[in-house]
Amino acid sequence: MAENTIRKFRWFWPWQDEQEEAWLRSMSQNGWHLLSVGLAGIYRFRAGEPYDYVYRLDYQIHKKKDEQDYLQLFSDAGWEYIGEMSAWQYFRKEVKEKETPEIFTDIESKVTKYKRVMAFLTFFVVIEAICVAIFAYNIWSNNPYSWWGIIRAISLLIPLAMGVLIYAVIRLVLRIRQLRRL
Amino acid sequence: MSQDDTSKYLPLTESTYYIMLTLVEPLHGYAVMQKVDAISKGTVKVGPGTLYGAFTLLEKEGLIVKVREEDRRKSYVLTPKGKKLLMNQIKRLEIMTRNGLSVKDHYD
- Return the exposure string of A133-150: e unless at least 16 CB atoms fall within 10 Å of the residue's CB, then b: eebeeeeeeeeeeeeeee
Q: Give the chain B residue nearest A71 (alpha carbons).
A: B72
Structure ipTM: 0.90
Q: How many domains does chain B have?
A: 1
Q: What is the pLDDT of residues B24-67, one digit of tens each?
A: 999 999 999 999 999 999 999 999 999 999 999 999 999 999 99
Are B78 and B95 in contact, with CB atoms under 8 Å apart? no
Residue ending a domain, choose from A94, A123, A150: A94
Cis status, amide bond into B11, omega within 30 of 0: yes
Contact between chains at B49 and A56 (C-beta distance less than 8 A): yes
Contact between chains at B33 and A58 (C-beta distance less than 8 A): no
Phi, psi (deg, nearest 5) at residue B67: -110, -20
Classify residue A159: in a domain, yes or no. Answer: yes
Which residues does residue A90 pair with via DSSP β-bridges, in sequence order? A57, A83
**Proportion of chain B above pLDDT 90, given as a percent:** 85
**Proportion of chain B above pLDDT 70, given as a percent:** 96
Classify residue A101: in a domain, yes or no. Answer: no
Classify residue A147: in a domain, yes or no. Answer: yes
Classify residue A134: in a domain, yes or no. Answer: yes
Contact between chains at A104 and B49 (C-beta distance less than 8 A): yes
CB pairs under 8 A between A and B: 63
CA distance B101 to chain A (A): 26
pLDDT at site A1: 42
The amino acid at residue B53 is G
B55 closest CA partner among B31, B71, B37, B90: B31
Query: Which domain, by its residues, includes A116?
Result: 107-181
Rounded to two decimals, what is the model's pTM? Answer: 0.86
pLDDT at site A144: 57
Q: What is the pLDDT of residues A98-157, one digit of tens each?
A: 889 999 999 999 999 999 999 998 888 888 778 777 777 766 665 655 566 666 666 677
Residue ending a domain, choose from A50, A70, A94: A94
pLDDT at site B6: 82
pLDDT at site A152: 67
The DSSP 8-state label assigned to residue A46 in this structure reads E
CA distance B4 to chain A (A): 23
Q: Give the chain A residue nearest B32 (alpha carbons).
A: A73
